[in-house]
Each structure stands twice: as C-alpha cells, then as structure tokens.
Homo-oligomer: A and B are copies of this chain.
Amino acid sequence: MTFDRRIFNFAAGPATVPEEVLKQAAAEMLNWQGLGASVMEVSHRGKEFMALYEEVLQDLRTLMNIPESYEILLLQGGGLGQNAAIPMNLMGLGKNGPKADFLVTGIWSEKSFKEADKYGVAHLAASSAAEKFNTIPPRSTWQLSDDAAYVHYCANETIGGVEFPDVPDVNGKLLVADISSNILSREMDVTKCGVWFGGAQKNIGPSGVTIVIVRKDLMGHSMKITPSIWDWAKQAANQSMLNTPPTFAIYMAGLGFKWLLKQGGVKAIEKCNQEKAALLYNFLDQSSLYENRVTKEYRSRMNVTFFLKDDALNAEFLAKSNAAGLVALRGHKAAGGMRASIYNAMPLEGVKALVEFMRDFERRA
C-alpha cells in the first residue's frame, strides 16, 4: 500500500508529527538560520545551537509551567534507560538502604519495577496484573513502604490504554512519574512529583531524546555506578552536554513545542484531546462489534484500545483501515486487539475519519 498523500497515523510511538513541523524541518535541512549548514551539522557547543537549546528548555518550561526549582535535562536512552537511571540517582535516599515502591498498572511500569531490582529493593506496592492491566488497583489496597526512597508510577500505560486521571495520592511521599506517553497532553501540576520523565516520540517529535524534569534537591545523590551520561547532577552542570547530545532530535522537539504553543498550549490541546477521546470511546460504547475493556475512569486519552467481538474479523479490519489511510491500528502484541494512539499531533478529523470507517465496517460485518 502506497500513498501520494499524508495518511492518519495511529502508531503508538514513534508517532505522528505535525505536518507544519515536518515542512519546516525539510525547508531548512540544508541551511539552518543562514549558517550554510543543517542544524544537525553544527557544533552543539556553538552559540547558535546553545541559543536553540535554551529556547527549547524555556518553551517546555512555559508549556508545563515548570518552576525554577526543577531542572530540565535532555538525555539519551529513552524511558527504559531512565528505568535504570532513576534508581541509580534516587534509590540511595531510602532510609534503610536502596529501596523504592512501584505501582504496576501495565507493561511499562512492570518494566520499571524489574529494572529497579538491579539497584536495590524494588517493592511491589500495587499491581493490576491479575486484572490483565485493564484497571488501576484501588487506592486502599496499595502497600506503600515507610523506608522507600520514592514511589514510581506510570501516568499512562501505552499498551493497555490505562491512564491515571490525576497524580496519585501517596501520603506525601516522593513521587516519580513516567509520562512517556502523555507528556504535554494534559495539565499536570509539576510540583506534585519529584521527577517526571519520558521520551519524545509520542507527543513531541521523533525518538532519540528523553526529557527528565527533576527537582533540584534530588540531584547529587547518585550511586557510584551511575553512568556519567545519566548522572543528573553532572548533566545539569553541563547543560545536558556532558557528551554530544542528539541535536537533531532536540531541534525537532523544539519545533514541536513551538507548534504546541501556537495551538494555545497544554490547556487548549487537553480540551482537544478530551474531545477526540470522547468521540472514540462514545462510539465504542454504543457499538455491538467493538469494545474497550478498561475501567471507565482510567481510560487513556492517548491510547484507545479496543477489541472486535469476533477475532476472525481482525485481519480484514486491519487491511481495510490501512487501505483507507487509517494506519497502524494493530494492538501491541502483548495485548492483542486494536489500538488507536491519538496523541497531540493527531487532528480531530483523523479520529472522525476513524469512527466513520469503523461504523461503516460494523455495518458491513
């Protein structure tokens, strides 16, 4: 299947990038800011790139309303890299040795939990594994430790399509939030967590750059074994340039931030995201062919998972949706079924087109 036009891309990440961002990147690919070179060719330590870098941070600070008491780091290694980096930087703050609590609500928080086990005691404070990660365990069942350095949770589980409606209440303990798949999609009170982290490849731009927002007093407690590139204090002292940063990915993230500012910022895009998600979930709920299996209050606005009641129709559904230019709807192999990822850059018209297609498919099925 080939297209001579842009399609609606429901991939879970890497994901859709706004068309105007791609156009700008293409237009200045050979000569950025009149330097006679691409942004990817210039020195990261040169004044032009450093100016860009500062602007990228400032735009993110504006968009998320990040106070000066928090540092913004742009690192490499993705969320899975931070799954190792976070325990190495923070676990040592545990009262009786390295320890952290984990709320496991899907495959991503489960990965975080397992990775942390290499660096100290990873304590499973709550898990919805028995419910196939279709929900969030009731608050009353969480078993938080007194001596853990922090509590880790994943704000949005990309694979299951489960999202925390708000920052969880952990009795004032230090919280670490994985926001890989809902960063900038909704308003978040940054002061409620000590660390926020996530890759850029869902709501921001291409893969290859990881955003870590960390309260400044939490830096400087790293274990000796922490790789320098992930030692938050060292990176903060070097503008995240202890080694060569992924300059093009940072530039693209910056274009993504500018685009979002132009849309009216996070508050405006959140409204749009609510509308897109409501459209799709309302359609699913009235359908007799499709169903979403997530507890209603925890349904993700970003990753809408659904199943056809007859699995035998899956192949036809995927082939026809793809032919209609509605691409990458297959669910993650660990979950099965379908998944429509509708991040910031997915326009409302994309979701409308999907619902229309699904309605039509149901009628003919």
State whether A34 touches B207 (Cβ < 8 A). Answer: no
Report copies per complex.
2
Is A353's beta carbon under 8 Å from chain B?
no
Contact of A77 among B6, B229, B252 (CB under 8 A): B229
Of A53-61, A242-250, A279-287, A294-302, the one contacting chain B is: A242-250
- Is there an interface contact between B118 and A225, defined as CB atoms closer than 8 Å? yes
Do A17 and B41 touch across chains, with their CB atoms under 8 A apart? Answer: yes
Contact with B along A12-50 (1 / 0, CB 8 A): 111111010011011101110111111011111010000
CB distance from A237 to the nearest CB of B (A): 15
Set of chain B residues within 8 Å of A44, measured between Cβ atoms: 14, 207
A252 CB contacts on chain B under 8 angstroms: 40, 248
Q: Could you mark each residue 289-332 of chain A with 1 if its beta carbon is under 8 Å from any beta carbon of chain B, else 0?
A: 00000000000000000000000000000000000010110000
Please name the 10 residue pairs, one residue from A and one from B, whose CB atoms are nearest each other, closest first: A2-B34, A208-B246, A7-B36, A84-B227, A3-B36, A80-B243, A26-B29, A40-B206, A76-B76, A26-B26
- A70 interfacial by beta-carbon distance below 8 Å: no
Q: How many residues of A contact B (CB 8 A)?
A: 72
> Is there a chain B Cβ closer than 8 Å to A357's Cβ?
no
Q: Which residues of A contact B (CB under 8 A)?
A: 2-7, 9, 11-17, 19, 22-23, 25-27, 29-31, 33-38, 40-44, 46, 76-81, 83-85, 115, 118-119, 199, 201, 205-209, 224-229, 242-249, 252, 325, 327-328
Given contacts A43-B14, A78-B229, contact A2 B33 (CB under 8 A): yes
- Chain B's nearest CB lies how many Å from the CB of A159? 13
Contact A14 B328 (CB under 8 A): no
Known A41-B14, A41-B17, A229-B77: A328·B46 in contact at CB below 8 Å: yes
